[in-house]
Amino acid sequence: DVKVTQSSRYLVKRTGEKVFLECVQDMDHENMFWYRQDPGLGLRLIYFSYDVKMKEKGDIPEGYSVSREKKERFSLILESASTNQTSMYLCASTTFQGWASGSLREQYFGPGTRLTVT
Amino acid sequence: GQNIDQPTEMTATEGAIVQINCTYQTSGFNGLFWYQQHAGEAPTFLSYNVLDGLEEKGRFSSFLSRSKGYSYLLLKELQMKDSASYLCALRNTGGFKTIFGAGTRLFVKA
């Protein structure tokens, strides 16, 4: 079974703190993603990475950065946490098998980290 | 851009059939995915469609019509454990990014 783990299920931080969210997958997937999920808004992509040391901005990258030093690990960093970053953060991974429609593969999600910034 | 619309909530009875609709406006996509998410848990993959038509996987089926900008997820023989949110998502033509709808919360009652 594919396993995606996240470092914490619940996290409480203060405004201005630097926050690290860690994600590890054990299936040698090339692609990894960070989303945040808020009521009524669904999952929104923050950043993704398609290879080690490679990263691309998603739809809402402001206030976040990422790091991918090893294939299995993708970290999300909040440089200076703010209250509007209180959310559920979900990491996901998938394998890449080409650009053709038939090569699509589903994403595997971690259990999520519920971050509260006070 | 890509807008995905789903009903916010639905209620159905145990043993019945329910259809969850998803409409979208997009300039192009590779595939349409459906995920299930129980409260407090991670989304898990249910099915995906690349071509128009129906894909069946046990009690779950998903349908896609690209010309109509429309998909649905059909759940048969509903069980209480099917109470969850169902997320419709589009994988864009570049292949990396997936856009998710806000999800439909399904309540199954006895």
Per residue in B52-109, pLDDT (tens digit) is 999 998 999 999 999 999 999 999 999 999 999 999 999 877 667 888 999 999 999 9
Residues of chain B found within 8 Å of residue A101, distances taken between Cβ atoms: 30-31, 50
The per-residue pLDDT for range A86-98, each reduced to its tens digit, is 999 999 998 876 5
Residues of chain B found within 8 Å of residue A27, distances taken between Cβ atoms: none
Q: Is the pLDDT of residue A65 over 70?
A: yes
CB atoms closer than 10 angstroms to residue B102: 20
Mean pLDDT of chain A: 91
Q: Is the pLDDT of residue A79 over 70?
A: yes
Please tell me the distance from the alpha carbon of residue B95 to that of residue A94, in angstroms, as a whole number: 11
Among the partner-chain residues B8, B48, B97, the one whose CB lies closest to the CB of A106 is B48
Q: Is the pLDDT of residue A103 over 60?
A: no
Among the partner-chain residues A42, A104, A111, the one whose CB lies closest to the CB of B101 is A42
H and E: helices and strands count for chain A: 0, 11
